[in-house]
Amino acid sequence: MSDARRRGLGLALALPPVVLLAVFVGIPVVLAVGFSLGHVGGLNATIARIGTDTRVATSWWGTTQAWADVFADPRFVRDLVVTVGVTVVSTVVVVATSLGIALNLRLRGGRLATAFAGLAVVPLFIPVVIASWAITTFYSSDGAVRTAAALVGLDGPTWSYSVTAVVIGSVWTSLPFATLMASSGLQAVPDAMIEAARDAGASTASLVVRVMLPLAAVPVVIATTFTAIGVLGQFTVPYFTGPNAPSVLGVDISKYFQSFDRPQESVVMAVVVFVLASGVGAVYVGTAFRSAQTAGRA
């Protein structure tokens, strides 16, 4: 087979997923960005007609008036800070917990470590709606936590409809994937390297930091980025467990689109979430690219 035919075959095999991404991801993103800049014609015409206070482009590239309206609202700035805060806290807790479970399974093993790993994957098989409602009732004013505390004369916390409940729900739903990724990455570390480090006198902390985590960097980065992106754009968990205010941007987008009839402002918020998620995704792409370069040199 000639080089030209081989390249053509490779292009033909890669073309279907590229076309799907362009149609179902690329075009909607372009339309959303254009609508946020006031381009209300074409495929944006219908949503522009039914929305209120829609800003129309005043030049060929558009207008930033809709963006100014959104960022001038202190509620949006507050909810943006809450969204980023929930994402950071949830991601740190998920990654730390999954690494702890995975390291315990890799270094110690045994039934207890296997049981912890199994329990961490259980949320994968429970629908998010059911889990969110369970968290809401569990931490409510008459839920299990306050009831158990009252039995011993204590005043238990009420976390339902709070940002704390959103973090708990985010950790619950994100932990299974992160645990699977961290476990697979650490299990792939060769036993010979672990034994060599121990023979050289490395402590457990040095073994983990200098040997195991660097070798499992790609799976850990995948778990971190996917967790952050998932929490950043989530809707179900904060909708069921969080307060009306402050809220996360996923819920705000729905409110502005459906309840407030301000689709352009909701699209601006969606673009903000997309930009933040793209920044997180760039970390994964960079890590995967460097890993591929290292493997190619090897």
- Give the CATH number for residue 100: 1.10.3720.10
For residue 42, being part of any structural domain is answered with no
In a domain, 244, yes or no: yes
pLDDT confidence of residue 297: 60
- Structurally, how many domains does the chain consist of? 1
Establish if 144 belongs to a structural domain. Answer: yes
Q: Is residue 109 part of a domain?
A: yes
Q: Which residues contact 123 (CB under 8 A, 6 or more apart)?
A: 131, 172, 173, 175, 176
For the chain, which ranges sit under pLDDT 50?
Answer: none
Give residue-wise pLDDT tens across range 227-262: 999 999 999 999 999 999 899 999 999 999 999 999
User: Does residue 56 belong to any structural domain of this protein?
Assistant: no
pTM: 0.90
Residue 266: per-residue pLDDT: 96
Residue 209 belongs to domain spanning: 74-297
Whether 212 maps to a domain, the answer reads yes
Q: What is the pLDDT of residue 220?
A: 93
Q: Per the domain annotation, does 10 fall within a domain?
A: no
